[in-house]
């Protein structure tokens, strides 16, 4: 076991973040800069992925930003050369959109990942590659808490493609001896997220409603359990994976120690962020069909392997989120 108190210096490291203008990617870019890295962001500002130039407005001058698509293989090759670590945060992240437009989701979340991996295999095979996965890959749980060995039966196209792209990363690790690893994140929330649309993570949408003092709608009784992770904790997991040789060829859940029901998350969001209230309504037919029930996730493997542990609980994460949006809410409301 590697005992780590957190990510260490990245001074002198050259890092590429695909999808670096999005929620997780931009927070990751800022943390890498703070640790001394030279950071390049590669993002096409796909409206279905959540990229926002404001996410980097105050650090733009010290970032390299390239406005390209991961489907553009030749451009990818240009930018992976010479990098020490590539974080793949590029994705089409809406579950409902993936069901309406499965081909577009396939391109962004599967074919694009092959492009990055092939560019690395051919032109920079010694680099670290950290891929962002999702806990929704599992579908309905067969046992709880679910660990990294749990079977995967995803319930929507987005989750299926994220599952497949994770397997690509692991295949390249084992077949080509590349230094790849996967961090599966769970309902990440916090600053720089998409908060104006229910198409994306439910808890960030709850935050957007509360910031506007609107009621939060919960389907059914809302008793199904979820894991919610503050974005800084997710970012730390990604960087620590890049710094751990024991992470190579492995998948890890970066999940909180505590699970909350959807109703509890809604109530906490109202309490710490807004002045609305929580309303319970009947399940819409299209949402009920993809509902997975309780999603209780184990973080034992990531703790044991390189010592990561979440530092923020739901309350402290919500308070920090409120503080961020207090000065820029209008920018994230459209």
Give how far Cα 131 sits from Cα of 173, 181, 297, Å: 12, 6, 19
Q: What is the DSSP letter of 188?
A: E
pLDDT digits (tens, 9 = 90+) for 31-74: 999 999 999 999 999 877 889 999 999 999 999 999 999 999 99
Residue 255 φ then ψ, to 5°:
-130, 155
Q: Is the pLDDT of residue 263 over 90?
A: yes
Residue 11 has pLDDT above 60, yes or no: yes
Spatial distance between the Cα atoms of 234 and 302, rounded to a whole number of angstroms: 12
* Alpha-carbon gap, residue 286 to 2, rounded angstroms: 44
Phi-psi region of 222 (alpha: psi -120 to 50; beta: other; left: phi over 0): left
Average pLDDT of the chain is 94
* Dihedral-angle region of residue 187 (phi above 0 means left; psi in -120 to 50 means alpha; beta otherwise): left
pLDDT of residue 3: 38
From the CB of residue 193, how many other CB atoms can be counted at a distance below 10 Å? 28
The pLDDT value given to residue 334: 83
Mean pLDDT value of segment 261-266: 97
pLDDT band at 276 (very low <50, low <70, confident <90, very high): confident
Instruction: Give the Cα separation of 109 and 11 in Å (integer).
Output: 31
Q: Is the pLDDT of residue 4 over 70?
A: no
Q: Residue 5: pLDDT band by 50, 70, 90 thresholds?
A: low
Can you read off the two tokens belonging to residue 109?
A: 């979340």
- Structure-block tokens of residue 81: 């050369």
SS3 291: coil
Q: Can you list the pairs that 167-172 forms with residues at least 24 positions away whose Cβ atoms lie under 8 Å?
A: 168/110, 168/113, 168/114, 168/117, 169/113, 169/117, 169/129, 169/131, 170/249, 170/251, 172/117, 172/120, 172/121, 172/129
Adjacent-strand bridge partners of 153: 139
Say which residues have a Cβ less than 8 Å from residue 161's Cβ, sequence separation at least 6. Answer: 98, 105, 106, 109, 110
H/E element, 209: helix 202-211
Q: How far is Cα 189 from Cα 151, in angstroms, rounded to an integer?
A: 26
What average pLDDT does this structure show over 250-278?
A: 96
Beta-carbon contacts of residue 37 (< 8 Å; ≥ 6 apart): 10, 11, 12, 13, 14, 15
Question: pLDDT, tens digit, for every residue of 161-183?
Answer: 999 999 999 999 999 999 999 99
Q: What is the pLDDT of residue 321?
A: 98
CB 7 within 8 A of CB 306: no
pLDDT level of residue 249 (50, 70, 90 thresholds): very high
Q: Give domain limits for the chain.
A: 14-191+229-257+296-312
How is residue 191 written in tokens? 């600053």
Report the C-alpha gap between 321 and 120 in whole angstroms: 36
Tokens of 112: 């694009």
Number of H helices, E strands in the chain: 12, 13
- Whether the pLDDT of residue 201 is over 50: the answer is yes
pLDDT at residue 293 in the model: 86
pLDDT digits (tens, 9 = 90+) for 97-148: 999 999 999 999 999 999 999 999 999 999 999 999 999 999 999 999 999 9
The answer to whether domain 14-191+229-257+296-312 has CATH 3.40.50.80 is: no
- Give yes or no for residue 275 having a pLDDT over 90: no
State whether residue 94 is helix, strand or coil: coil
Per-residue pLDDT for 2 more than 50?
Answer: no
- Answer yes or no: are the C-beta atoms of 231 and 123 closer than 8 Å: no
For 16-20, 204-208, 241-245, 281-285, which range has the lowest pLDDT when averaged over its residues?
281-285
Collapse the DSSP code of 218 into the 3-class scheme (helix H, G, I; strand E, B; otherwise coil) and give the result.
Answer: strand
What backbone phi and psi angles, to 5 degrees, belong to 59? -125, 10
């Amino acid at each position: 076991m590697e005992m780590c108190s957190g990510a260490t210096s990245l001074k002198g490291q050259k890092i590429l973040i695909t999808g670096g203008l999005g929620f997780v990617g931009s927070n990751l870019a800022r943390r890498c800069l703070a640790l001394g890295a030279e950071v390049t962001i590669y993002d096409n500002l796909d409206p279905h992925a959540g990229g926002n130039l404001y996410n980097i407005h105050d650090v733009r001058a010290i970032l390299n930003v390239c406005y390209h698509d991961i489907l553009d293989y030749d451009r990818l090759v240009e930018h992976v050369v010479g990098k020490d670590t590539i974080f793949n945060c590029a994705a089409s992240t809406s579950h409902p959109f993936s069901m309406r437009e499965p081909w577009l989701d396939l391109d962004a979340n599967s074919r694009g990942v092959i492009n990055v991996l092939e560019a690395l295999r051919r032109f920079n095979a010694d680099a670290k590659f950290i891929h962002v996965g999702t806990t929704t890959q599992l579908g309905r749980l067969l046992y709880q808490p679910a660990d990294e060995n749990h079977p995967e039966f995803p319930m929507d196209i987005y989750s299926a493609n994220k599952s497949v792209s994770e397997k690509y990363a692991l295949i390249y690790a084992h077949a080509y001896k590349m230094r790849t690893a996967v961090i599966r994140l769970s309902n990440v929330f916090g600053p720089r997220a998409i908060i104006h649309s229910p198409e994306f993570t439910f808890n960030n949408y709850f935050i957007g409603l509360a910031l506007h003092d609107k009621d939060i709608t919960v389907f059914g009784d809302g008793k199904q359990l979820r894991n919610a992770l503050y974005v800084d904790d997710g970012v730390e997991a990604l960087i620590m994976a890049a710094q751990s040789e024991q992470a190579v060829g492995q998948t890890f859940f970066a999940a909180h120690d505590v699970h909350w029901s959807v109703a509890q998350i809604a109530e906490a969001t109202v309490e710490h962020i807004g002045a609305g209230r929580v309303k319970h309504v009947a399940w819409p037919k299209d949402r009920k069909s993809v509902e997975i029930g309780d999603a209780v996730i184990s973080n034992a493997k990531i703790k044991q392997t390189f010592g990561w542990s979440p530092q923020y609980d739901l309350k402290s994460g919500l308070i920090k989120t409120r503080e961020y949006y207090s000065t820029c809410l209008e920018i994230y409301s459209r």
